[in-house]
Structures are given as structure tokens and as C-alpha cells.
Amino acid sequence: MKKIVGAVLASVLCGSALFAYNPPAGAQNVLRLTEPQLLTGANSAAGGGIFGATPASIINNPALTAWEQRSTLDLAGTLFVNSNTDYPNFDNTLGGSFQGGLLIPSRWCVSTLLVQGIWTDFFAMPVGNSFNFTGGLSKDITDQVSVGMTANFGLLYGDAVNSDWTLSAAFGAYYNYGDLFFMKNLRFGVSMNNIGKMYSGGSKTLGIESVKNFKDDEDVSDGTSWPGIATIRTGIAASFLKTDVMELGSSLDFSVPAFQNFVMDLGLQIQLWDFLKISSAWEFDVREFANDAKNIIPSIGVSFKFIFSSKEGSYMANKGWAQSDMTVSGAYRNLYKDVNAVSAGALLNLGMADTKAPEVIMWDGE
């Protein structure tokens, strides 16, 4: 393991010497700030310590949604609070983001549409403002393997950046190995993200190195494009304890943005009585830590699932959704020393999941 990590870090350092890498702080995760599950790392490339897929899961791995059986609506928002307003062009106290997602399963594949808006003109996180549209398709190949792909288009504007646009694609695969020793439901995921044109904030962009060396009387706005082009993300996840009351799972992800950085995400999830879930995650970004731009405080999130019934003859009952479930969630994360994020969301799964295998009758016994 040490040799693998050493090789990855060496490749990052070599790439850094050949190409400029100085994106704004928070730029690699700009699409992971819009809902509690993404904010806490609960949906990793392998689906999180306790597997769960939402429309936003396609941001980490387009293949994760392939086994979803029900149509899903996802609405969420995040409030960003900036406590440092001493810098010109970065004096906003509040920022925010929103997300709307729709997942529709069919006989052939699972289709997903995700709309995200982000407003973050802060000195500690000068990613600007953007609207992003992501569409995804996923398909199960076997009972254990799935694949998926997404296409993303976005528009960027704001005081901290020049106006720009992005157009990219992503591909992913997922494999559920099953049980191995003390690990239950061991899963692997891999994705290749950001294949295409990335955002470029132009001459006004303040990169992570610029934040560290910022001086009022000097122009150090030399940030590079983001997110990192052709970023490979791999993940492994499993449950380590499962009883009738509680399940404990963990996930570990690695990514190499533009082959010039190294990011590790560690997630932990606890589920109680099948309706209460507590999630936490910690991210280690080599470049952001090296430039004093990252905080080491882990995120924390809580979600609560409840089942509700629609009365007979109602629209939902007529559609076959007499019983459905909703998950409401909230999360907190100290993104940077001066920027805190509070997120809330609701996920509506229409109908009940089919957990009973089909019964085949060869004859009627007469």
C-alpha cells in the first residue's frame, strides 16, 4: 500500500513540474457542494459505506444508479457563510447553491437529470457563480457489474472570475464483490471524469497558491482551469458491522485531478433501525493543504427516512405509488477556515422497492 501511495505522489509531483496547476480553492468539488449526501462524501465512487444512490451520485460515478427501481425526485440547497470580508471583490458574506434531480428507471437503462447552481464569490473559495446541467445513463451488465456515462454543460460568471462555459463527459464502472472475511457487501467503483473543456476564470481567477501569497498591492490572479481535466476517481467501500439494529460502513476514495494532484476521501456511515443514518467524511487534498487552503475538520450529516401512504383513488395511488418513502437530510461542513456550509435536502422515492424474487409456477398441482 505504501508503495502504491508513493508512486501516486511521485507522479503528481512530476506532473506538477511539467504543467501549471493552480485552480481556485474548492474548484475540484464545486459540484459536490449542493446537497447533504455529497457534502459529507456519503456517495463515493463505490456508493458510500452503506450503499445508497441518488440522482447526485452520478457526480462521483455515473454507474451507481443502475440498480434503482423507482422514480426519484431530489431537491436540496446549501448555505455558505463567509466570515472574512476584508478583501476587495470578495466581500460577500453569504453564498449558496441549489440542486434539482430526477431519476427515471426503464427496461433498458436508468436515466438521470441533475441541475445545480452555485454562488461562491469568497476570497477563501473564489469559484464564482455557475449553472450546471448533467445528464446520465447507467445500465447493469450482470448482477454485480454496472456501467454508466454522463454529459455536463455549465455557464460561469461572477466578480471573482471572467464569464466562461464548460462541456464535458464522464464514464464509470461499478463492481459488487460480495462478502470477504469481515467485510460485508464489498464494492469497487472507478470513473473517468471531466473529459472535455473545463471552466477557465481568466485573468481574475485567484488560485490556491495566489490565496496563500495574496498581497493587496500585487496582482496574483493566475488561477488555472477547473475541475481537473481527465480526473480518475477510484473507490472501495464495505460494511464492517451489521445487526438487526445497526449497520456500520466505511468508504475510501482516491482521485488524481489532471494527474497533478492527489486527493483522498474517507467516509464513515452508521445506520440505525433502517431509518436513521449518520454520515461523516474527511478529505485530504495535497495541493490545498500545501497552500494552507484546506481545513482538517470532518463533515457531519444526518438523514431520516419515513414511509407514507397515499389514499386510494389519489393520483399517486393510481400511478402505482400507493406507498412511497422520503428521506430528509442535513449536513454541516467547515470547507475552509473562513467558509462554512450548511445543507438540507429531501429525496422522494416513488413507490416501494421490489425486494421479493419472482415466483415461477410450473404447474398448478391438479
Amino acid code (one letter) for 128:
G
Q: Helices (H) and strands (E) in the chain — how many of each? A: 5, 14
Q: How confident is the model at residue 364 (pLDDT cuts 50, 70, 90)?
A: low
Closest Cα partner for 346 from 48, 57, 101, 23?
A: 101
| pLDDT > 50? residue 7 | no
| pLDDT > 90? residue 161 | no
**DSSP one-letter string for 281-312:** EEEEEHHHHHTT----PPEEEEEEEEEEEPPT
Name the helix (H) or strand (E) containing 8: helix 2-18
Closest Cα partner for 338 from 289, 296, 295?
A: 295
**Cis peptide bond prior to 358, omega within 30° of 0:** no
Distance CA 347, CA 38 (A): 13
pLDDT of the residue at 213: 64
Q: How confident is the model at residue 316 (pLDDT cuts 50, 70, 90)?
A: low
Average pLDDT over residues 176-183: 91
289 DSSP 8-state letter: H
From 31-40, 71-80, 100-109, 219-228, the region with the lowest mean pLDDT: 219-228
pLDDT of the residue at 318: 53
Distance CA 320, CA 318 (A): 5
pLDDT of the residue at 314: 57
Q: How confident is the model at residue 16 (pLDDT cuts 50, 70, 90)?
A: very low
Q: How confident is the model at residue 311 (pLDDT cuts 50, 70, 90)?
A: low
Number of Cβ within 10 Å of residue 150's Cβ equals: 23
Closest Cα partner for 84 from 300, 335, 289?
A: 335
Distance CA 277, CA 185 (A): 18
| pLDDT > 80? residue 62 | yes
For 342, the grid coordinates are 450548511
Distance CA 142, CA 311 (A): 37
pLDDT of the residue at 336: 86
Distance CA 36, CA 191 (A): 22
Mean model confidence pLDDT for the chain:
84
Strand partners, 149: 137, 171
Report pTM: 0.84
Closest Cα partner for 152 from 163, 165, 143?
A: 165
Q: How confident is the model at residue 113 (pLDDT cuts 50, 70, 90)?
A: very high
